[in-house]
Structure 1
Amino acid sequence: MTTSSGSSSHVTDARGPLHTGPGDQHIYYGDIRASASSDRSGRDPRQVAVEELRALRRRFVDPVGSDRARELLEDKRAVMLTAGRGHGARTAAKVFLCQLPQGSRRFRELVDQAEEGDSAGRALDREQVERGAALLLDLSTVSSRRYETFMAELPWFLKVVRECDAWLAVVLPALWRAGFEHVFRGLVVRLERPDPAAVLQAHLRDVGIHVRRAEVAVPELEHELTTATMAQTADLSEDIRAARENAPPGSGFAAWLKTALAARAPGAQDVEAHLSGLDSGAQRALLLTTALLHGARTDTVHEAAARLARAAELPEVATPLLHHRTLTARLAEIKAAAHRGRVRFTVAGYDAGVRRWFWDNYPQLRGPLADWLRTAPGFTALERADRLELVTRFAHERLRTGPPDGLAALAERWSGPSASPEELTMAARALGEGVVHARYGSHFRQQLYRWAQDTALPGHRAHVVIGVCSEVLSRRFPDQAMIRLRHVSRHREQGVRVTAREALARITDSDDRLYRSLLKRLAPGEEPRGLRDLGIFLHVADPARMAGDATVGALLADHWTAALAHLPPRRWEQPLRAWLERAHTRPVARRPALRALATACARQRAAFGAVYAAACSWAAGDPARRRTVNALWEAAGSVPRPQPSRTAAAAR
């Protein structure tokens, strides 16, 4: 259950959605949902997002300029941050916002409204600002054209932020352009590069490794940190943690550090020198395949390497099978070996260096590599985890250099009407990597938006959209995930509609602000779109969400009114029973829940008989339930016949 206070949410227990809708549940959706994100915990994605923000605060080291930034947020309710590339301006903005009262719960990241189908080309929307919200606007990777649009709209947007007692932190491009509105100049703060050694210590401390400053003041580490970005410093802490887990008992920080630095050592020169000794195209194909399928089964790597050689149009040499070199010898030549049936490089971190080198130095290979990847579901003995990791590794290289079209095309191909379950999971992972990418995320979010609006979208692809929105997009951009899931909830296939509604219930279950936003967006009515929205409402309707929030109570009463007005009793009887049961078992919610239902009955007098009959059927002779039904009768008699408040906003 969640309770609300202003714009905040508090999680007090976990529960599943009130699934009241019929329809086929596609058995493959569970695999799609589990594949979209590399996080295998299965936790509530919105709760994970809050925990990630808290972790950022624990690991954060104040750069020079932090005090001034906090002062501006407190006094002006806005700050505009600029910093060198890789110096952590975005992380700093998040932390400053989350250090505000209940900031982790109030935090939201804004997106360009062009992604949300704004036909006027606007970048910002006043509806994005809720009272007390802590808002982040990251302009560090937007195009110059959209940057100018944002800057033109920011003056009026800042006024809205202040009127709503909200806060706004803007991350400017590293080479931001001066000369915009004078009102911004007093809001700009330059953040210096944080002390990288202190950043490393903070990250290590968060995973239980406490080291003194002297232990990180060693020449080889200082050399590594001199040019490292804050993200690379965080990655190094993870490498040290992994080295500790695999180290023999009794080893210390110096040994873990040595192992971690060795894993980061292989660079372009190492790979190039190695390749100069590989004359055979087949061996180069084996090298790249091993890098892409690092840790996969031996048979898988062997067959996949042969397929890659064919995709790259290497000439086949007719050699008797018994004259072939052994796989063990071939792997040794590329600095790899098979251990317990799985192939790995013998040099730590070498797989990443090989992938990067091939991608950068053989751009003509990218097309054949994508063709090869499309056939991955047919690789011998390729396990699910290895298949998804293959997609992730390819996506990282594709998105590192751009453009994103190649990855988007693969996702579209893998989610077509004839897609296999394996292909659907690969599509989900590809899109999951894309939608939150700093530079190209907008491309994938717009693609999901277009697909979500298509009520005739192939069912397979619709389930991929649902999985990506539920498990990945909702963590960083919950409102965008909610909007897309709402559109998919209007799909022509009942199974898709039910799955999308369950996903909506999942992402709003522990986020009261998002739940309220969903209710506001619903526009129930008697036309097809309005009836679809009623279906969504009946799926997510929960009286326990009303405590302390008058807006939610009014919205629930409005939507129950529409349900009684536009749907036959058979459509709302089961959700009504679930509503009464929830109210009956939650004393704090009972009175507002019954009053909302009574208000709806007062507005739709003709439906009260059917509502009361359904309530009596639910009570079924149980004295305690009967008292709840009697309370509903009394509430209905005391409520005047008001007009609907229509606080729900029109659908976008």
Structure 2
Amino acid sequence: MSDTFTARVEQPGGPVHAGSGDLYSYTVNMGAGDQEAPGRSPRSIADDQLRLVRQQFVDPAGMGMARRVLDASSTVILHGAPGSGRTAAACVLLYEVHQSTGIFRELLPGEEEGVLTDPGLVGVGDRLLLNLAEADVSQWAQTRRDLSALRKAVQEQQAHLVVVMPHDGALESRLQPYRADIARPPAMEVFRRHLRLHRIPYEEYGLPAPALDEFLAEEPSMEEIAHFADRVRRARAAFPVRDGFATWCEQSRDARTQWRKEVSELVATRCTAAQRALQFATAMLHGAHADVIHRGAALLLSTLNTPRDETPLLEGKDLAERLKEIGAAAGPDSRVRFDRLDYDAAVRAHFWDHMPDLRHLFSTWTVQSAELDDPHIRQDLRKRLVSRLADQYLRTGRGNDLAFLAEEWSAAPTSRARLEAAVDALACGLSDPRYGRSLRMLVYYWCRDKHLTGSLAHVLLRVCTDVIAPAHPDQAVTRLHHLARRERGATPALDALCRLAVTSARLRRRILDRLTCHSTAPTVDARLFLRICDPEALTDPAGAPRPLIDEKGVQDCVVAGWAEALARLPQPHWQPYAERWLHTACTADNHRDRMLGLLVDAAGRNGSTLAALYSVARAAEPTAPGGRASGAATTERLIQKISAAQGLRPPAPPTPPAPPRGTTR
């Protein structure tokens, strides 16, 4: 794919997961004087998410066999019925083989990561998930043909691979030894595990509950059980005294089945604009302080240009009475909630489904509410607010529109709250299993070609590092590279690319290859190369059998990259990087000759370039590790290699003076 360089970046400025869906739901310059600290690395984000899955997980029948197969052959093919927690089981298996090297990632055949037979797809110690639970017949057949080559690379790199196969998929006899069948874990045990994680004592949930028995008799998926348990937790938190476990379970059941009809009837009877505005604001800001609910309802009326009620304030109904009319109330903490569990979700769905002409105004109201200056509006409330709006887009098949909503919200002028809302909205779409793939492709095209106005570059950067990179680092590399190419001045995308390279030698190798051997913008990529080509990282094996600099392919990239940098960039730009390269050579005794040789090979037979390298080496001697003598020795070795490259004999060492007559040496 060709790159477009006419575009310009302006102003760079406890989830539940129990077996299905995507596991994965940093920071940059936001303008002069408004900077954020670097966020967590993609590796730490992925590890935290896997740890959460492990805490929620109940071993299904067959899990022990799956562990033994993975331990013996580094590969296991999981087979199980839909809803049995296959994806969660795969993630737990990979979490349990965590190593100091390598990263967790999900392979995505058919997207951008090449064919499964590419040996470069696997890094040392990587933990790979190949989820083909929903694959069609042809995709599963192709995967089976490629699996031997992939398994060979996995074993050579001391990595681990878990494949989730289609429930009705075929498996040849040669692959049967790697198969492990898992069954649904005991539903009641899964339910109680979630309640224990919610810190609910056994004395409370170890009681009979007919509504729970009725629910579990339906053989729900692991994900549905997790949601049911979460509703029980919230029912207990809302009504801890007057109700017991059986009633909490009844409320959780009714929240699944009955509220939509009752909401429809309530909205029909509460027909004034003020009442409906209060209903919608309470549903969207559910659990917020009463002051926030009041301001949110007034803001909605203003957004809809509703004529103001002229009733004198002291004659009108107070907020408590108005909330009672819609089935809500403020608790002792002044936080407003409906009096029935998950009633807020039913209200949101009703307004979205039955008032389609107001959807864009609801979106406008959402971001304006997130920007309200109120001490009770904190970041967690803003995130919940945006997530509740995003849920409506996703629920009604409009997930891709979240990208355009993020673009609108990040347009200049913007605010920190609006910008965070844009990031959160797009992140919700990327984390959804139905829309993740199409939105990742849209983010790719935007990073590569789109005219990035306002703070859209910031939004794209954030989702690349926080959402895409933890499970799909190769795709994050591609997108960050395109963003970095377009930066002027500040380099947040390049900084993020460098941090991503630190997590995996395989990723650094991949980035170097993109910047050199497959570059379509050599001058721009030469600048990026100097940052990525960190000599210490190249000479440190970091747990691998050998360092990157010993690989022929990496050596070719280093020579090609330095050749472009020396030829295309002014000396003041590349000199600090050359000094760092020479200083590393001073201490890397086993790699000094190779490092100096690669630098000389990059200069070729260009006399002026070789002379410039020599002058840089002389200038770097005083600050060399080990002092001037160490730097001088490296310079001496460099001049010998320069002489050899020019076909000159290295100068003979000086003849020592003759000893005085009558003495012995």
Q: Normalised by the shorter chain, which TM-score bucket?
A: 0.7 to 0.9
Aligned match of 2:208: 219
Given that 1:114 and 1:123 are in contact with CA atoms closer than 8 Å, whether structure 2 keeps it comes out as: no
Question: Which of 522, 533, 537 lines up with 1:541 in the alignment?
Answer: 533
CA distance 1:446–1:355, shift in 2 (3 Å): same
Aligned match of 1:414: 409
State how far apart, in whole Å, the 2-side matches of 1:590 and 1:417 are.
53
Aligned match of 1:363: 353
Corresponding residue SS for 2:58: coil
CA deviation after TM superposition for structure 1 residue 108, in Å: 2.1
Aligned match of 2:569: 567
Corresponding residue SS for 2:485: coil
> Structure 1: any 5+ residue segments left out of the alignment?
1-22, 34-39, 644-652
Tell me which of the two structures has the higher relative contact order, counting C-alpha pairs closer than 8 angstroms and 6 or more residues apart.
1
State how far apart, in whole Å, the 2-side matches of 1:327 and 1:523 are.
65
Q: What do the CA deviations read for 1:408-440 (whole angstroms, capped 9, x no partner)?
A: 331232234665554432221111112122222
CA distance 1:335–1:215, shift in 2 (3 Å): closer
Matched, 1:159 2:148: yes
Task: Write out aligned runs for 1:495-514 (5 A).
Answer: 495=489, 498-514=491-507
CA deviation after TM superposition for structure 1 residue 64, in Å: 1.4
Matched, 1:89 2:86: yes
Given that 1:45 and 1:471 are in contact with CA atoms closer than 8 Å, whether structure 2 keeps it comes out as: yes
CA distance 1:368–1:156, shift in 2 (3 Å): same
Corresponding residue SS for 1:169: strand
Matched, 1:65 2:62: yes
State how far apart, in whole Å, the 2-side matches of 1:600 and 1:259 are.
74
> Structure 2: any 5+ residue segments left out of the alignment?
1-8, 14-25, 32-36, 647-665
Task: Write out aligned runs for 1:466-477 (5 A).
Answer: 466-477=461-472
CA distance 1:630–1:97, shift in 2 (3 Å): same
User: What is the identity, as a one-letter code, of the residue corresponding to 1:599?
Assistant: L
State how far apart, in whole Å, the 2-side matches of 1:528 and 1:178 are.
42
Corresponding residue SS for 1:154: helix
Aligned match of 2:599: 600
Aligned match of 2:366: 376
Q: What do the CA deviations read for 1:153-202 (whole angstroms, capped 9, x no partner)?
A: 213320211221345433245xx444687766776544211124444565
Given that 2:30 and 2:458 are in contact with CA atoms closer than 8 Å, whether structure 1 keeps it comes out as: yes
Given that 1:54 and 1:104 are in contact with CA atoms closer than 8 Å, whether structure 2 keeps it comes out as: no
User: What is the identity, as a one-letter code, of the residue corresponding to 1:436?
Assistant: S
Matched, 1:494 2:494: no
Aligned match of 2:270: 280
CA deviation after TM superposition for structure 1 residue 94, in Å: 1.8
Matched, 1:128 2:121: yes
Matched, 1:614 2:607: no
CA deviation after TM superposition for structure 1 residue 536, in Å: 1.9
Corresponding residue SS for 1:613: helix
Q: Which moved more, 1:158-167 or 1:377-386?
A: 377-386
State how far apart, in whole Å, the 2-side matches of 1:177 and 1:551 are.
42
State how far apart, in whole Å, the 2-side matches of 1:246 and 1:327 are.
20
Task: Write out aligned runs for 1:569-584 (5 A).
Answer: 569-579=571-581
User: What is the identity, as a one-letter code, of the residue corresponding to 1:354?
Assistant: D
State how far apart, in whole Å, the 2-side matches of 1:384 and 1:115 are.
38
State how far apart, in whole Å, the 2-side matches of 1:232 and 1:32 are.
40
Given that 1:619 and 1:626 are in contact with CA atoms closer than 8 Å, whether structure 2 keeps it comes out as: yes
Corresponding residue SS for 2:638: helix
Corresponding residue SS for 2:154: coil
CA deviation after TM superposition for structure 1 residue 486, in Å: 0.9
What is the number of equivalent residue pairs in this alignment?
590
Given that 2:411 and 2:455 are in contact with CA atoms closer than 8 Å, whether structure 1 keeps it comes out as: yes
Aligned match of 1:483: 478
Given that 1:543 and 1:593 are in contact with CA atoms closer than 8 Å, whether structure 2 keeps it comes out as: no
Greater share of residues in helix: 1
CA deviation after TM superposition for structure 1 residue 582, in Å: 6.9
Given that 1:124 and 1:150 are in contact with CA atoms closer than 8 Å, whether structure 2 keeps it comes out as: no
CA deviation after TM superposition for structure 1 residue 276, in Å: 3.3
CA deviation after TM superposition for structure 1 residue 501, in Å: 0.2
User: What is the identity, as a one-letter code, of the residue corresponding to 1:572?
Assistant: W
Matched, 1:447 2:442: yes
Corresponding residue SS for 2:373: coil
State how far apart, in whole Å, the 2-side matches of 1:228 and 1:510 are.
38
Q: Based on CA coordinates, which of the two structures has the bigger radius of gyration?
A: 2
Given that 1:203 and 1:234 are in contact with CA atoms closer than 8 Å, whether structure 2 keeps it comes out as: yes
CA distance 1:263–1:467, shift in 2 (3 Å): farther
Q: Which moved more, 1:334-343 or 1:395-404?
A: 334-343
Aligned match of 1:50: 47
Question: Which of 318, 324, 329 lines up with 1:326 in the alignment?
Answer: 318
Corresponding residue SS for 2:94: helix
Task: Write out aligned runs for 1:220-259 (5 A).
Answer: 220=209, 223=213, 227=219, 229-234=221-226
CA distance 1:78–1:510, shift in 2 (3 Å): closer
Task: Write out aligned runs for 1:2-151 (5 A).
Answer: 26=12, 30=28, 42-57=39-54, 59-73=56-70, 78-100=75-97, 102=99, 105-114=102-111, 127-130=120-123, 133-141=126-134, 147-151=136-140
CA distance 1:437–1:455, shift in 2 (3 Å): closer
Corresponding residue SS for 1:165: helix
Task: Write out aligned runs for 1:247-326 (5 A).
Answer: 264=252, 267=255, 268-270=257-259, 272-273=261-262, 276-277=265-266, 279-281=269-271, 282=273, 283-296=275-288, 298-306=290-298, 308=300, 319-322=310-313, 323-326=315-318
Corresponding residue SS for 1:87: coil
Given that 1:45 and 1:507 are in contact with CA atoms closer than 8 Å, whether structure 2 keeps it comes out as: yes
Corresponding residue SS for 1:520: helix
CA deviation after TM superposition for structure 1 residue 269, in Å: 2.2
Aligned match of 1:7: none
CA deviation after TM superposition for structure 1 residue 404, in Å: 1.4
Aligned match of 1:632: 634
CA deviation after TM superposition for structure 1 residue 502, in Å: 0.7
Given that 2:11 and 2:453 are in contact with CA atoms closer than 8 Å, whether structure 1 keeps it comes out as: no
User: What is the identity, as a one-letter code, of the residue corresponding to 1:108?
Assistant: R
Q: What do the CA deviations read for 1:10-53 (whole angstroms, capped 9, x no partner)?
A: xxxxxxxxxxxxx99845964879xxxxxx99422322212433
Corresponding residue SS for 1:219: coil
Matched, 1:435 2:430: yes
Corresponding residue SS for 2:59: coil
RMSD of aligned alpha carbons? 4.5
Corresponding residue SS for 2:91: helix
Given that 1:113 and 1:123 are in contact with CA atoms closer than 8 Å, whether structure 2 keeps it comes out as: no
Question: Which of 187, 194, 202 lines up with 2:185 in the alignment?
Answer: 194
CA deviation after TM superposition for structure 1 residue 563, in Å: 2.5
State how far apart, in whole Å, the 2-side matches of 1:219 and 1:579 are.
70
Q: What do the CA deviations read for 1:355-414 (whole angstroms, capped 9, x no partner)?
A: 245426852435523332124343443646233321111113332442413323312322
Aligned match of 2:458: 463
State how far apart, in whole Å, the 2-side matches of 1:395 and 1:519 are.
37
Aligned match of 1:18: none
CA deviation after TM superposition for structure 1 residue 441, in Å: 0.7
Corresponding residue SS for 2:421: helix
State how far apart, in whole Å, the 1-side matches of 2:476 and 2:28 are.
18
User: What is the identity, as a one-letter code, of the residue corresponding to 2:63?
Assistant: S
Given that 1:288 and 1:355 are in contact with CA atoms closer than 8 Å, whether structure 2 keeps it comes out as: no
CA deviation after TM superposition for structure 1 residue 131, in Å: 5.9
Corresponding residue SS for 2:293: helix
Given that 1:577 and 1:614 are in contact with CA atoms closer than 8 Å, whether structure 2 keeps it comes out as: yes
CA deviation after TM superposition for structure 1 residue 324, in Å: 3.3
CA deviation after TM superposition for structure 1 residue 255, in Å: 10
CA distance 1:583–1:431, shift in 2 (3 Å): farther
CA deviation after TM superposition for structure 1 residue 128, in Å: 2.8
State how far apart, in whole Å, the 1-side matches of 2:38 and 2:261 are.
39
